[in-house]
Structure 1
């Protein structure tokens, strides 16, 4: 009699476990289906960035392995989404040469970007006597003597996305904007006075979120 009761209880437990298992599977399926439907309806797209221009105020690599530079960059950002807002919680702008940072980081004030809205920022990025790796210092001196230099404007930070009343967690954002700058009096920049030269770039940036 006791054996039959044990088999009966085992059968009930097995049925209970099966029901719990299938309930979990159905719940996960509904969650994934909801995420898929939200993605299909909203079609989220990462922000786009364009480097509009670069104004050069100072660029001096005369000291061995040290660089002093001062730039003002103008960046345009657009939120291409119709139903998603973007919170820029933190954005830091700086310059690199051959993957080496050559200026200090400049913070862009936090902001919110609504649906299909544009923002334009014009931060100054600069560095005084920034150490440059020896192998980069040689290339930098050569480029300066040739009157042409290729740098990258970088923006790193964190963003959040807003859908209705829902606000997502923070995501890292990395923006890379290549800029080709012609030094000296070669007519490719606009003289702004006081040794400042503005270069029109209009370069689309790569964005990773």
Structure 2
């Protein structure tokens, strides 16, 4: 039979016993990469501070916007004086079937416009203001230029420009329809005001914005009696409630 030999016990100085083994010490990688918990704490603090600053800045901007936000101005026509309104016939010497038909309107008005600035903290500045009167979508007066205007917060101002005078070319249908309404004594007109407006809210100065205001009127026209020696301009009554719209 084969003999089994056990390995000889090593009792030399180089022998290693189980009791001599000690757990290996973990290498410190924090020398190269830093400690994870300790290095992320300052970064989190900086991010939190930045977030709080941005949040406070946003809230402050929102509050200032709500406090100093300007409102659009409102317009109203309180009275209209009619100087003249008549259709002008074409040159009778012109050839063609349309000779002698009215193709222009000579009209002149004075409109009292109330401009109100409803903003309680913003003043309004108006520039390049022009006004004209339209009938059925066609201008029957030339644009009348108005001086610049500065308006305090929460205030109203009345302007009364004289609009028109010289004949303005219109289509024959418009001239005929206007003459027909004048004969009946009631004319539907539109007063248009163009320009630009700028709001100044405390330390904030906004840029210029285009403005387009229009007021629809139903005017009662009275014919002046030539036998009465009265040179006063007849004030045309406003029928109904004139409505004004503003686009900016």
**Shared fold (TM-score, shorter chain, > 0.5):** yes
TM-score, length basis structure 2: 0.65
2:195 to 157, 166, 178: 157
Aligned with 2:150: secondary structure?
strand
Partner residue of 2:233? 196
Give matches, 1:138-149, under 5 Å: 138-149=176-187
CA contact (8 A) 1:57 1:195 kept: no
- Asked which structure has the greater RCO (Cα within 8 Å, sep 6+), the reply is 1
Q: Which residue of 1 aligns with 2:125?
A: 87
1:32 & 1:70 partners in 2: Cα distance? 53
List aligned pairs for 1:116-155, cutoff 5 A. Answer: 116-155=154-193
1:26-45 alignment runs, 5 A limit: 36-45=62-71
- Other-structure match for 1:205: 244
Write the distance in 2 (CA, Å) between the matches of 1:169 and 1:205: 24
Q: Determine which structure has the larger strand proportion and give its number.
A: 1
From 21, 37, 52, the equivalent of 2:78 is 52
8 Å CA contact 2:74–2:116 kept in 1: the answer is: yes
Cα drift, residue 126 of structure 1: 0.9
Q: Which runs of 5 or more structure 1 residues have no equivalent in the other structure?
A: 1-25
Report which of the two structures shows the higher radius of gyration computed on alpha carbons: 2
Matched, 1:100 2:100: no
The SS at the match of 1:196 is coil
Contact map agreement 1:80 1:117 (CA 8 A) in 2: yes
d(CA) in 2 for partners of 1:104 and 1:96?
A: 10
Superposition deviation, residue 136 in structure 1? 1.4
Alignment partner of 1:153: what SS?
Answer: strand
Pairwise CA distance, 1:196: 1.9
Q: CA RMSD in A?
A: 2.7
Deviation of 1:200 after TM superposition, in Å, equals 4.4
More helix by share: 1
Q: TM-score, with normalisation over the residues of structure 1?
A: 0.76
